[in-house]
Amino acid sequence: MTDGRQSAQAYAQAAQNARNAGDFHDALVQQRRAVALLRDVGDKAALAHAIRHVADILVAAGRAPEAAEPITEMLTLYRGGSDAPPLDIANALRSAAVHAEAIGDNETARAFWIQARERYAGLDALFEQLTGSPGNPGVAEADARLAALKY
């Protein structure tokens, strides 16, 4: 692991810790530092993952309109042929759906939830391995969010 990656990982962990503590300002600062370092590393999947967290922090902080740019960049990176694991791609689509809901664009949210659900549906074995029990929380969340969307 390069020094840039290690530092980015440390910033991302600090961002997660701040987010868990409800300090969205510090979480955003730390996550943006991680993104800045990863831009130089050249790993599109890691960069897209880090950018997704910037968007998620903005949405969680009630600043959803500001998340549009990171959402677009993240999706562009993932669609550009990164070597991202399937769960990362499903989570990216989930983030885009949550963002669309947060800005009141339920039609776009529906489209992203459908795509996320399709991706999550192929990960039953992974979820069972991660959680130790049967069931797919990604599919369950997508189904619930789709059912709750108003048109």
Question: In the chain, where are the structural domains located?
Answer: 1-69, 85-151
- The pLDDT-based confidence of 40 (bands split at 50, 70, 90) is very high
The class of domain 85-151 in CATH terms is mainly alpha
Name the pTM for this structure: 0.92
Question: Residue 57 and residue 51: Cα distance in Å, rounded?
Answer: 10
pLDDT digits (tens, 9 = 90+) for 41-83: 988 999 999 999 999 999 999 999 999 999 999 999 999 876 8
Q: What is the pLDDT of residue 126?
A: 94
Percent of the chain predicted with pLDDT > 90: 89
What topology does CATH give the domain 1-69?
A: Methane Monooxygenase Hydroxylase; Chain G, domain 1 (1.20.58)
Whose tokens are 């967290």? That residue is 53
pLDDT digits (tens, 9 = 90+) for 83-92: 889 999 999 9
Under DSSP, is residue 43 helix (H, G, I), strand (E, B) or coil? Answer: coil
Instruction: Name the token pair of 95.
Output: 């983030």
Instruction: Name the token pair of 79.
Output: 């669609």
State the helix-helix crossing angle for 44-60 and 3-20, rounded to 10 degrees: 20
pLDDT above 90: residue 26 = yes
